[in-house]
Every structure is written in structure tokens, then in C-alpha cells.
Structure 1
Amino acid sequence: MNTFALLAVIAGASIALQASMNAQLGQLLGSSLLATSFAFFSSFILVGVVSAINSKGVSISSINLLQVPWYLWASGLFSVLGVASFYFLIPKMGAGNVMSFALTGQLAISIIISHFGFFDSPVKQVDWQKSFGIVMMIAGLILINKEAK
């Protein structure tokens, strides 16, 4: 496994850990939205500190914000939708079930994004192997979420 693949696995594990921990925080606070707010606040602080340390001369004033396509500013909305949904769903479905459905959604949309090269992504055409992988992923989703008898 190369370094980038390992980092991607760690990122995926981080998402599952973060979602599960904050789902419990949401239960203890009585609000998944409040837990979401705390998660984004702590993320904002951490990213702000790291950005300040590693700015390398880049500042908001040196970036032409008007040249950024409007739809790219909406990415934060998808973050809130995903994170808040995790915090709401994990206590009801369990972390494994929620993450298996989430991973399926992530893989499905990422294959579409790569196939068409959306958002300047490198184009990776869907072929029979990727199509077979999608079918196997759906089979895995069914098996993971099948209740033991």
C-alpha cells in the first residue's frame, strides 16, 4: 500500500471515529445540531491555527475570491449535511451500518465525478471492472446490513 492509499484509509477511519464520538456527544447534549456546531467550531480553530503557521505568504486579500465559481462555496453545506446526518443516524442505526451506507454513497458519487472530470478531477472512465466493483459494493452493503438471525 502506498503512502497516499494509507493516508486515505486513515482519513476514512478518522471520519468513522469522529462521527461516532460526536454522535455520542449529540446524545449527551440532547442535540445532534449542537454537536455539529461544536465539531465545526473546533475544526475551524484547528484549521485556522494550522493555516496561520503554514500560510507561505498566501492571504485572503491576495486571492481573487470573485473568480471562484459560486457552487464551490456550497461545499460547506454538504459537510454540514453529512456530519449532522451521521450524528443523527449513528445512535439509531449503529456506526457500522451508517458508515457502510455512507461509504457506498461516497464511492458512487466519486465514480461519477471521476468519470466526467467534475471539479477538475482527473478523468477515470467507468469500465467493466469499476461497474463490477459497484455491484460487489452493493452486495457488501447488503451483507453488512443484514441482521444476524
Structure 2
Amino acid sequence: MNNLTLFLLSFLVGIMVVIQGGINARLGILLNNSLLATSTALTMGASLTLITVLISVRQFPSMHQVREIPLYMWVTGGVLSFFAVTLFYYIIPKIGISTAVTFGLAGQLIFAAIAGHFGWFNMPLEPITIKKIAGLIVMITGVILIKSQNELN
């Protein structure tokens, strides 16, 4: 896939995160429990993932490959997903979807810039540049403006 396609898919993912966050936060309100909404969303996601794996994966890793993977790699992603999704569904009804997503995106961008700069998680190095710092400053300013607008209402 070319970069334009990947950029558009990333943009689409952002839209899907907002849609699912809004729908599942509302589900948490209707169920009177954001944990029930989280369990519904993650169970559905896990089920669809398992079905897709069973249909599409032609060769599974060997037991030797599986044993070589550190335990934290099997656990951390799921634990972080649980906390992120649960907090998202809890926070959205309290501060609004645009504020929650804006602050969430700010956290993602700032941490991604730091992690990319140091190549954390064995990812390619993406040094922090003056342009990147300027972009982060503009983004943080946008977050502040969005938040201040919400406080005026």
C-alpha cells in the first residue's frame, strides 16, 4: 500500500474511534455501567478477531516461536486496551466526546513523538525536529482553545 492510502486509513481509524467511543459510552450510560459496555465491546472485538484469524491465517507460529516471546508482550497490550477503552467510555459522558478525544489525541501525539524519537518498542527512529515541536505546540494550543471554549458554555 502506498503512503496516501495508509494516511487515509489512519484518518478513517480516527473516525471509527470517535464513533465507537460515542456509541459505547452511550451503551455504558444505558447499562448504568461503563465496565459492561467495555466487556461488550472487547468481547465483540475479540470474537471478530478470532473469526478473522481462523479464516485468514494460513500458518501459525511454532511453539518455539511462541515460547520466545516475553510474557509481558502477551499481557500488556490487552491490559492497556482494557484500561484505555474503559476510561474512554467512563470519561466521554462526563466531559463530552470532542474534549475526551481532543485530550486523548494530545496524549497520543506527545507520547508518540517521544517514543518515536527514542525508538521505543523497537520502532523506527523518528527524531523530534523543530517542525515536530512546532506542530505539537500548535496542537496543544488547539487543545487549550477547545477546552476553554467548553468552559465558556
Identify the TM-score tier after normalising by the shorter chain: over 0.9
How high is the TM-score relative to the length of structure 1?
A: 0.93
What amino acid is the match of 1:119?
F
Structure 2: 5+ residue runs without aligned partners? none
1:64 Cα deviation after fit = 2.3
Q: How does 1:1-149 map to 2 (within 5 A)?
A: 2-58=4-60, 61-62=62-63, 64-73=65-74, 74-147=76-149, 148=152
1:118 Cα deviation after fit = 1.1
1:21 Cα deviation after fit = 0.4
1:78 Cα deviation after fit = 1.0
1:62 Cα deviation after fit = 4.4
What amino acid is the match of 2:69?
V
What amino acid is the match of 2:101?
M
Tell me how large the CA RMSD over aligned residues is. 1.5
What amino acid is the match of 1:67?
E
The 1-side partners of 2:13 and 2:63 are apart by 30
What amino acid is the match of 1:99?
V
> Kindly, what percent of the aligned residue pairs are identical?
35
1:19 Cα deviation after fit = 0.8
How high is the TM-score relative to the length of structure 2?
A: 0.91
Q: For structure 1, which segment, 37-46 or 71-80, has the greater mean C-alpha deviation from structure 2 after superposition?
A: 71-80
* 1:86-113 residue CA offsets vs partner (Å, 9 max, x unmatched): 1001101110000000000111111111
1:63 Cα deviation after fit = 5.9
What amino acid is the match of 1:72?
M
Q: Structure 1 segments of 4 or more deviating over 6 A?
A: none
The 2-side partners of 1:63 and 1:89 are apart by 42
What amino acid is the match of 2:68?
Q
1:122 Cα deviation after fit = 0.9
Number of residue pairs matched by the alignment: 148
1:71 Cα deviation after fit = 3.1
1:57 Cα deviation after fit = 1.6
1:3 Cα deviation after fit = 0.2
The 1-side partners of 2:55 and 2:64 are apart by 18
Structure 1: 5+ residue runs without aligned partners? none
